[in-house]
Structure 1
């Protein structure tokens, strides 16, 4: 019999429950569940060792009906009595990336709009109100899929921090645009999912002290699209004061983005496909089923595969389903960072040595079959820059064509972006720490090759200390051989969250990045310092600059 059943049999938890005042997160008796009073009412969570866990807490009105294609409406409606926060809330509607252990077909939609704007909190059970550093997690998934169903308890316990993980709207529901949507919401014509992320941060400011978190010591951290969101928040004037440090893991900040006009054209075409072009177009679009809307908008495919099609010129790639709308996102975040228009907070950022191995499986890309085909592919993808890219990544420098192809794409989409961001921060006199993760979990994600290296998402289990599963598919399972690196990474991440400096007792020294681009390489049994950058990143920098000049 679990505690909740036992308490019910005794006639109700209120006889033994925790105090009702704000900040009363500690249970009075060993068999009572923790309760916390927040702005919308009282929530009851679970004791999980030395951590109290609260799942599925709504932070806004749910984005259904007329609230679809609008900024989140906050705060969440209040409730009477005590609301159970024992189970994860609904995922935002999304396509299945891979069959995995859910047994669902790729492309099948799961999740629900009603209830998707929720977050989870893991807090040390002994926390006093407003005491602990806060880490605010933003999940990845190309703004197309994913959820906040991460195991935050191990990180909260290891680092003595409060961990908050947010859900946000995805794919067309989170990033749709259409002239009528713009007319109805001119100050926020798209990027509703991004606004959800910001609304969750605002919820943290108003409520996290009740769980023992310090609202004046908040670190945002995220991976992939979540890392992109972290760096976007860094440039957002409306986010000033909502966080005090930032960690971007594999954040592709230099990916091309859509101008609003192009997104509106895409939305207009989607309305035609959905028979919404005549009559009350906006009402029709708000009634459309999420899967049909995403398919019509062109984002239903797994991982927006068109963005990594090896035959598409780099300058024509649509990039993330994310808009430069001139309002919420006033310019490309990479441009703002390059121009020094970002919040002056310490930043920790990095990526994985073989990021692109993941995308060979999940993004319908293929390795060129010969050296000639490799050269031809790069020349087609990079156009006028093709010869320079081929020269910077010659097959002769690698063990295989596949290794060369993975390296050029890993640099392009991830690692060279880190170089650009670090250079901009240090040039402005800011604080940055850069890393390269270079290890493979004991059991890597099951659908990759036998020797995938440090693939995209591989670091997640080390940061969270437990297996991270998305859509039923583990991103990697760590074993005893991984525990030294796990402990070091959790120490670095939580030390940085507490003070802005990742260093601490028992950890190899991690010095700040400088203009010569110092970074640490994180491996199973070593942490080594590296300086300098590759010739490839110099080429990629020129490509990024060209993309910005074309409005991408």
Structure 2
């Protein structure tokens, strides 16, 4: 594949046609490169098709719209595009593909937080991010939506991610990337996706290593619909629009999006279905998704797994851009029990009344034993973060360490604190430092922009880059970081004035509460 350069312009030849990007700060940057055909009309709810070929040179200097979502009036279905930052299109560098999070319902590769320039330049990497189908269009199941060519009838967003990985493997050499040296990285929903793709026959042989960050590993009823509930929802949507399920392909996208959100609004106990209580992610379809993390064997590739010190503060801090917005924090014991009950209700269809009090008592005792804060807001925050994220992430790391044929796993706790009046280290704080976007306009108030933030960011990028280049994380000023072993000092704590230290995994007593609950296991 040939590369042509003009002043300020770089042209790359993909399988579908030539694209023209720009030179920016020593990098070549390509935005809005199609990796699949627009999933519109008859291709709504279809498996992704290859991008339509074009003649001439296609402009690749502007981001595509985000996929259909709330809060983004410019969003659209025609959004299956990739963005690429490369130090040298004529080179052959390791490739880092980032899968954005957003609860499988919001987010895009064009969000300024995920600008790939900093890790591409400092890490000497080809960095890629992209959009995939969300919400009703990306994460459901119905037999009447089966693709006549592939037979797939569910999880269209995951199918898009598979298509992107295969597109990268086939095309990335034109952008200076090594197609045989691909690392997948993702946060939250994206972190769960990269874990899943190590098990899929379409992608597992293409992925060299993975970096799941704050992975929102799907489970029912919290993070996914059951197949029967999914069928029920699509039938209800069809009835609302006076059509059958196949006819949903003709419903205006904005109307279908709004109707989907309506189904899952309000008290989870009063909804049409019992699953999908918090977010609607992958569905067990028996074809692509046959089991969830914990039921699948650990990945056989190297893993750098990370979580945030207080995952829950993303959801309990009114200044965080959480979706939906944070509710008021509890201020007394009764309010704390009620707030904790609401968290428990995200993970189970039925929650015994006494369970919230048991949870509060366990967390308060653990906090006092460790000299940690035990006020209502802090306890509520810890419960939220552990129930939805930290418990599963740590337990999967421990399962990984016990499995003989698993790849090596390094475990990180990202603990760089945000600025007051925000608090803790919230879910998705990591992306601001991995991409060096902590000082961006939308982030600086919460994350700051000083020499310490720069050092933490540089260290994070160096750790990731060394993992991508050599298969093991290391960075200047970071102590030797051993492969994770349960019960020994092998978790890297990153952030704060000391930058990095290795310690035993913190706050283990809190996690033991969830071990006895099958709904959170």
TM-score scaled by length of structure 1: 0.81
367-376 or 258-267: bigger deviation: 367-376
Q: Distance in 2 between matches of 1:393 and 1:428?
A: 30
Q: Determine the structure 2 residue equivalent to 1:214.
A: 178
Q: Secondary structure at the match of 1:394?
A: helix
Q: In the alignment, which of 65, 70, 75 is matched to residue 41 of structure 2?
A: 65
- Per-residue CA deviation, residues 84-138 of structure 1 (Å, 9 max, x unaligned), is 1111112111111xxxxxxxxxxx6441112x0100111013x544x21100010
Q: Secondary structure at the match of 1:481?
A: helix
- Per-residue CA deviation, residues 481-504 of structure 1 (Å, 9 max, x unaligned), is 311111100000111111220114
Q: Determine the structure 2 residue equivalent to 1:350.
A: 306
* Counterpart check, 1:285 vs 2:251: no
Q: Determine the structure 1 residue equivalent to 2:100.
A: 139
Q: Secondary structure at the match of 1:36?
A: strand
Q: In the alignment, which of 466, 484, 496 is matched to residue 524 of structure 1?
A: 496
Q: Distance in 2 between matches of 1:181 and 1:488?
A: 46
Q: Determine the structure 1 residue equivalent to 2:3.
A: 24
Q: Is the 8 A contact 2:191 2:212 kept in 1?
A: yes
Q: Secondary structure at the match of 2:216?
A: coil
Q: Output aligned runs, 1:126-525, within 5 Å.
A: 128-129=90-91, 131-149=92-110, 150-182=114-146, 187-253=151-217, 255-256=219-220, 257-277=224-244, 281-282=245-246, 284-298=247-261, 317-336=277-296, 340=297, 342-360=298-316, 361=318, 362=322, 363=324, 364-378=326-340, 382=344, 383=351, 385-386=355-356, 388-394=358-364, 397=368, 398-429=373-404, 430=406, 431-441=408-418, 450-467=421-438, 476=447, 478-516=449-487, 518-525=490-497
Q: Determine the structure 2 residue equivalent to 1:535.
A: 509
Q: How far off is 1:532 after superposition?
A: 4.3
Structure 2: state its 5+ residue gaps.
345-350
Q: CA 1:488 to 1:208, structure 2 compared with 1: closer, same or farther past 3 Å?
A: same
Stretches (4+) displaced over 6 A: 304-307, 468-475
Q: Is the 8 A contact 1:151 1:468 kept in 2?
A: no
- Per-residue CA deviation, residues 61-88 of structure 1 (Å, 9 max, x unaligned), is 11011000011012x1111111111111
Q: CA 1:461 to 1:377, structure 2 compared with 1: closer, same or farther past 3 Å?
A: closer
Q: Determine the structure 2 residue equivalent to 1:48.
A: 24
Q: Is the 8 A contact 2:343 2:384 kept in 1?
A: no
- Per-residue CA deviation, residues 109-168 of structure 1 (Å, 9 max, x unaligned), is 441112x0100111013x544x21100010111110110013101110000000011110
Q: How far off is 1:434 after superposition?
A: 0.9
Q: How far off is 1:177 after superposition?
A: 3.0
Q: Is the 8 A contact 1:54 1:120 kept in 2?
A: yes
Q: How far off is 1:475 after superposition?
A: 7.7
Q: Is the 8 A contact 1:23 1:211 kept in 2?
A: no
Q: Secondary structure at the match of 1:35?
A: strand
Number of aligned residue pairs: 489
Q: CA 1:299 to 1:46, structure 2 compared with 1: closer, same or farther past 3 Å?
A: farther
Structure 1: state its 5+ residue gaps.
1-21, 97-107
Q: Secondary structure at the match of 2:3?
A: coil
TM-score scaled by length of structure 2: 0.86
Q: Determine the structure 2 residue equivalent to 1:101.
A: none
Q: Distance in 2 between matches of 1:483 and 1:62?
A: 39
Q: Determine the structure 2 residue equivalent to 1:100.
A: none
Q: Is the 8 A contact 1:258 1:318 kept in 2?
A: no
Q: Is the 8 A contact 1:463 1:490 kept in 2?
A: yes
Q: Determine the structure 1 residue equivalent to 2:347.
A: none
- Per-residue CA deviation, residues 24-58 of structure 1 (Å, 9 max, x unaligned), is 26x3x6x2411111111111111112210001000
Q: How far off is 1:387 after superposition?
A: 5.2
Q: Distance in 2 between matches of 1:199 and 1:230?
A: 13
Q: CA 1:40 to 1:421, structure 2 compared with 1: closer, same or farther past 3 Å?
A: same
Q: CA 1:69 to 1:46, structure 2 compared with 1: closer, same or farther past 3 Å?
A: same
Q: CA 1:418 to 1:333, structure 2 compared with 1: closer, same or farther past 3 Å?
A: closer
Q: How far off is 1:520 after superposition?
A: 1.1
Q: Secondary structure at the match of 1:393?
A: helix
Q: Distance in 1 between matches of 2:334 and 2:425?
A: 27
